[in-house]
Structures are given as C-alpha cells and as structure tokens.
Chain A
Amino acid sequence: DGLKDLEDFMRATHSGRADFTQVVTAPSRDGQAGRTRTSSGIFAFERPGKFRFTYQKPFAQTIVADGQTLWLYDADLNQVTQRTQAQALGSTPAALLASAPDLAALRRDYQLDAAPDADGLQWVLATPRAREGQLQSVRVGFRGAQLAALDILDSFGQRSAIRFANFQTNAPLEADTFRFKPPAGADVLKQ
C-alpha cells in the first residue's frame, strides 16, 4: 500500500531527478471555480537536505537548497533571495519528502496514514503536525516505489497538484546540481 511504498522510497531512493508539472487551483468562491495556473520544470534531490526546482514555464525561476541555504532566483526580476534552509523547509512537502534523511524524520513533521488507491497510484495522506502551519494536508502518490504525485491543500483551500515524469532514481547528478552561484548583476537579498 502507499505507506509501504513511502517507506521503500525513503529508504531506497537516495537521490533522483524528474520532470514535473504543477497545476495550482485557487479556492472556488461563490460558486465560481478557482483560477488555475500551470507551471513545469525539472526537480532534482539528494538526501539529506538538498533539492533543486528549476521552473521553466511560464517563467524562469530556480529554487536550490544546498544543505544550509535556500536560494531563490527569479530571472525576470533578476533577483536572488537567500534564507536559511531550516526556516523555509516546513512548507515545501516535495522538498521534505525528497531531502528528509529517513521516514522517522518525516513522521516528526507529518502524521502518515495509508489512503485508498486512485488514478492508478497508491497514496499516503500526510497531515502536518503543526496545527497552524501553511498546509492542511498533503497526499503523496506512488507508482510502485517511485514517487509519482503530490496533492497539496494549503490552509486557504488552494490546491497544488504536482505530477512527476521520467523519474530517474539514484541517477548520478552533476556535481554542482545543488550549488547556486548568483548570476552576475543580480540583486542578492537576505531574508
């Protein structure tokens, strides 16, 4: 079931790389369906504590966690924001799933329950233990031991559905995958 897949994923998948698409749906209001926004790019990670989201569409944005610092670069604004990784990790389930050292670390932040199969995937419901955090719930979907999907519901009712494809497990990654050097001329801001 989903819990077994999650356990296998946390134990056997040390690093990985995948294409992702993300559909964010705003909460519906007075009967009108919420606006949706679709983005896509590449996600890479290495335990413990390292990940990279390279958003390619609709705009170029890169988020890199190098183990200590979380970097965010927005190409249009030509701006880099930098903050300590511990500060920001809680609200990024994909990052936590990928970079948490083991299942026990995950259980500290989320209560984990098996959920019914759907869309051909096995699911786990992860409920954040922090009551007033940014997130209401996270559903994690597996195809066998491979991470395939994340459905994130935040505390405002906004849904973010991430789907992974071409998942390469434990594939060798270039050395500087999780290093970030601010581009020349970019504003670098500490938060």
Chain B
Amino acid sequence: CAAPARKPDADASAASNHWSGRLALQIESPEPQSFFASFDLQGDVGQGELTLYTPLGSTLAQIRWDASTATLRDEHGTHAFASVDALLQQVTGTAIPVAALFQWLAGEPATVAGWQADLRQAGEGRLVASRLAPQPAATLRLVLDQ
C-alpha cells in the first residue's frame, strides 16, 4: 500500500502564509485618512484572518473571511460583510486590492488597475503600494517583522 502521505508540518504550512509586522495606510481624500497598526495576517485571498494591534499591544480588530462572507470584530462587536473587499472598503473608505496584496507579500509582481507596487525591498520585508487612480491617491506601506 502506498506510504501515507506525510502530513505537511502544520507549523511550516501555517508559517508559509503567515505574516506579521506593521502597516500604514494613507488616503489623500479631502479629509485625509491614515491608519497605522501592527498586524498578524494568515491565509490567502480565499480564506484568511487579519488581526490589528495598537502600538502598546492590545487588539484593535480582527477580520476573518472566506469565500462567502467576511466579519470584522472590534470593541463594539462583530459586523458581517459580503466579502473582505466590501469590508475593507467600508472600514478604510477605499478599495484595497486584497488578491494583489497577497501576491506582493509573496514578492510576486501583480498588476492592479491604478496601483503600483514597489517590491525592490521585498527581501528586507518592506513593501510600498500606491494607488494613482482613481482619486483619492492612497499609499499602503508594510514592514514585515524579520
């Protein structure tokens, strides 16, 4: 009989799609918006979890999504959305290209209308993605814990 397929080490597979670090999102709307948080990100565009922390270490919010729904839990309770894109649009006020983000995190160039990603420092865990169009301009910066 065939040797049992070796179950991939749960940690290794979890570690491969798990990122933690700090992110800053800046939106040049008439009333400029900015977000800054430490984060833990797991999973992929189809299913995953993003936890955001304050600089002093308490949890700000937890976002979970799968193919059919997305939920945001914060100090006020849990809110459901149709998708992670819809959730991020509501929370940040702008569209965040989640699928492209996972590719950029893996160091792969991904083209998204209006967005440009600078992956030159991906090796040092740094990523800058800017949206030039449509307005308002937005800049997402990530620094991954090394």
Interface of B is mostly: strand
Within the assembled complex, what's the spacing in Å between the Cα atoms of A152 and B56?
A: 10
Q: Would you call B40 an interface residue if the criterion is a C-beta within 8 Å of the partner chain's C-beta atoms?
A: yes
CB pair B54–A91 under 8 Å, yes or no, is yes
Total residues of chain A contacting the partner, CB 8 A: 36
Q: Would you call A183 an interface residue if the criterion is a C-beta within 8 Å of the partner chain's C-beta atoms?
A: no
CB pair B75–A160 under 8 Å, yes or no, is no
CB under 8 Å from chain A, chain B span 12-63: 20, 22, 24, 26, 32, 34, 36, 40, 51, 53-60, 62
Candidates B55, B73, B75, B126; contact of A72 at CB < 8 Å? B55
Chain B residues, CB < 8 A from A156: 51, 59, 62, 73
Chain A residues, CB < 8 A from B24: 74, 77, 79, 81, 189
Within the assembled complex, what's the spacing in Å between the Cα atoms of A189 and B143?
A: 18
Q: Would you call A28 an interface residue if the criterion is a C-beta within 8 Å of the partner chain's C-beta atoms?
A: no
Residue of B nearest to A88 (CB): B54
CB pair A74–B22 under 8 Å, yes or no, is yes
Q: Would you call B108 an interface residue if the criterion is a C-beta within 8 Å of the partner chain's C-beta atoms?
A: no
Total residues of chain B contacting the partner, CB 8 A: 26
Residue of A nearest to B143 (CB): A76
CB pair B76–A134 under 8 Å, yes or no, is no
User: How many pairs, one residue from A and one from B, have CB atoms within 8 Å of each other in the complex?
Assistant: 85
CB pair A63–B55 under 8 Å, yes or no, is yes
Chain B residues, CB < 8 A from A24: 53, 57
Within the assembled complex, what's the spacing in Å between the Cα atoms of A45 and B143?
A: 29
Within the assembled complex, what's the spacing in Å between the Cα atoms of A61 and B56?
A: 10
Chain A residues, CB < 8 A from B77: 132
With A58-B145, A155-B75, A191-B34 as given contacts, are A76 and B22 in contact (CB-CB < 8 Å)?
yes
CB pair B75–A152 under 8 Å, yes or no, is no
With A59-B145, A132-B77, A133-B75 as given contacts, are A154 and B58 in contact (CB-CB < 8 Å)?
yes
Show 14 A/B contacts (Cβ-Cβ < 8 Å), sorted by A: A37-B145, A39-B57, A53-B55, A53-B56, A55-B55, A74-B22, A74-B143, A79-B141, A91-B56, A132-B77, A133-B75, A152-B58, A156-B73, A160-B58
Which residues of A line the B interface, CB within 8 A? 22, 24, 26, 35, 37, 39, 53, 55, 58-59, 61, 63, 72, 74, 76-77, 79, 81, 91-92, 94-95, 132-135, 152, 154-156, 158, 160, 187, 189-191
